[in-house]
């Protein structure tokens, strides 16, 4: 007889006046810290009228459970909080501590307008452009225009290059990726673009073999490799060694994605990208300073 306790089921209500992306991410991160629980998520996005809120309150009353919300309208916030208090359930505004801190520091009040982070401004179109770029330069499809990339990911098959490129693109970073395939020669010039940050992605051979077996069930495109070569553990180990030699020779940062999520890998790449940008700006500032000194001394 199993000694494992049954997971505790409970309803949790996520209420947002925008798309709810922030709320979903925060809830996922918090719930991951609790064992033996089975949350039943009720997701309520784009809640912007009292009528919408009243319908949701009826559902919360029918299925009581913690409420986590991001609402900027004061009256709606108060109504939700009051009803939660009446029902005796926790009700948490996840953005309040951040907004209070920023408001105190800046000496300004927040606008209180829902969904401002999703407006179609320059940053929005930059993200759209980055996604289009990632699709055009996915898996070595094209090299014409590669120099426009912010980040170039390099790795053997199944090292999460494509999903990582897309994730970075959604953060406004133009990411291309180049696959390392046995027998396929990549011109050296594409590994030496000075304005691009190169990042090597690696993984254990065992994990790659497992992922490749899964891939073959849905995709027979072997990139010129035979099925046996693609799945052979010794061949995969050789691929990984060759890739690491390249990364070392080029002095690129390397991320082992074996036990990493796409989000974790992307976060580390964004940190590398920030450092890369900072160094480039410092170098450009130094060059400008030297130019000014030379002109002054002329």
Task: Tell me if 41 is assigned to some domain.
Answer: yes
| pLDDT bucket at 225, cuts 50 / 70 / 90 | low
Tell me the CA distances in angstroms from 74 to 58, 78, 120, 281, one per residue in order. Answer: 20, 6, 25, 43
Residue 204 has pLDDT above 60, yes or no: yes
- For range 98-106, the mean pLDDT: 81
Q: What pLDDT sits at residue 121?
A: 62
Question: Is the domain of 177 the same as that of 100?
Answer: no
End-to-end, the C-alpha distance of the chain in Å comes to: 89
153's tokens: 């990911």
| pLDDT bucket at 6, cuts 50 / 70 / 90 | low
Q: What pLDDT sits at residue 52?
A: 96
Indicate if the alpha-carbon torsion angle 124, 130, 131, 136 is positive or negative: positive
Identify whether the C-beta of residue 60 lies closer than 8 Å to the C-beta of residue 13.
Answer: yes
Mean residue pLDDT across the chain: 89
Question: Is the domain of 173 the same as that of 145?
Answer: yes
Identify whether the C-beta of residue 91 lies closer than 8 Å to the C-beta of residue 65.
Answer: no
Question: Is the domain of 15 the same as that of 92?
Answer: yes
Angle between helices 205-216 and 233-250 (to 10 degrees): 120
Range with the lowest mean pLDDT among 30-44, 63-77, 117-131, 255-269? 117-131
Question: Is the domain of 52 the same as that of 129?
Answer: no
Task: Tell me if 293 is assigned to some domain.
Answer: no
286's tokens: 């130094």
Strand partners, 265: none
Question: Is the domain of 140 the same as that of 276?
Answer: yes
Q: Which of the pair, 168 or 226, is modelled with greater confidence?
A: 168
- For range 267-292, the mean pLDDT: 87
CATH number at residue 39: 3.40.50.2300
Question: Is the domain of 271 the same as that of 158?
Answer: yes
**Of 106, 137, 171, which residue sits at a domain end?**
106
As for how many domains the chain has, the answer is 2
Question: Is the domain of 91 the same as that of 181?
Answer: no
**Of 63, 81, 106, which residue sits at a domain end?**
106
**Of 77, 106, 135, which residue sits at a domain end?**
106
CATH number at residue 194: 3.40.50
Return the H-helix or E-strand segment holding 97.
helix 96-106
Task: Tell me if 183 is assigned to some domain.
Answer: yes
Question: Is the domain of 38 the same as that of 183?
Answer: no
Q: What pLDDT sits at residue 1?
A: 41
- For range 34-38, the mean pLDDT: 91
| CA dist., res. 143 & res. 145, Å (int) | 6
SS3 content of the chain, % helix, strand, coil (to 5): 55, 15, 35
Residues spanned by the domain of 66: 8-106
| pLDDT bucket at 93, cuts 50 / 70 / 90 | very high
Q: Which runs of E-coded beta strand occur in the chain? A: 8-16, 37-44, 67-70, 91-93, 151-155, 175-179, 197-202, 254-256
What's the whole-model pTM score?
A: 0.70
Strand partners, 283: none
* pLDDT tens for each residue of 10-25: 999 999 998 888 898 8
Question: Is the domain of 102 the same as that of 180?
Answer: no
């Amino acid at each position: 007889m199993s000694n494992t306790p049954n997971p505790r089921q409970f309803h949790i209500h996520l209420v947002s006046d925008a798309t709810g992306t922030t709320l979903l991410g925060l809830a996922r991160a918090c719930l991951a810290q609790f064992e033996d629980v089975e949350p039943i998520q009720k997701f309520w996005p784009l809640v912007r009228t009292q009528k919408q809120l009243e319908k949701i309150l009826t559902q919360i009353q029918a299925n009581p459970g913690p409420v986590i919300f991001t609402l900027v309208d004061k009256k709606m916030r108060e109504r939700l909080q009051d009803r939660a208090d009446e029902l005796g359930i926790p009700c948490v505004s996840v953005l309040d501590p951040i907004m209070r801190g920023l408001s105190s520091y800046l000496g300004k009040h927040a606008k209180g307008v829902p969904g401002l982070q999703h407006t179609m401004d320059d940053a929005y179109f930059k993200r759209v452009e980055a996604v289009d770029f990632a699709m055009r330069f996915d898996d070595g499809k094209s090299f014409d225009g590669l120099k426009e990339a912010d980040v170039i990911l390099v790795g053997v098959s199944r090292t999460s290059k494509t999903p990582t490129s897309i994730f970075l693109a959604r953060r406004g970073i133009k990411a291309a990726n180049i696959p390392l395939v046995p027998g396929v020669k990549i011109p050296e010039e594409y590994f030496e673009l000075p304005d691009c940050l190169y990042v090597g992605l690696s993984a254990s051979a065992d994990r790659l073999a497992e992922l490749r077996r899964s891939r073959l069930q849905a995709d027979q495109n072997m990139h010129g490799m035979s099925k046996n070569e693609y799945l052979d553990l010794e061949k995969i180990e050789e691929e990984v060694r060759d890739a690491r030699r390249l990364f070392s020779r080029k002095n690129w940062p390397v991320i082992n994605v074996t036990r990493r999520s796409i989000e974790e890998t992307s976060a580390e790449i964004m940190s590398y990208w920030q450092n890369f940008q900072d160094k480039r700006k410092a170098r450009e500032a130094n060059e400008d300073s030297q130019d000014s000194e030379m002109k002054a001394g002329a």
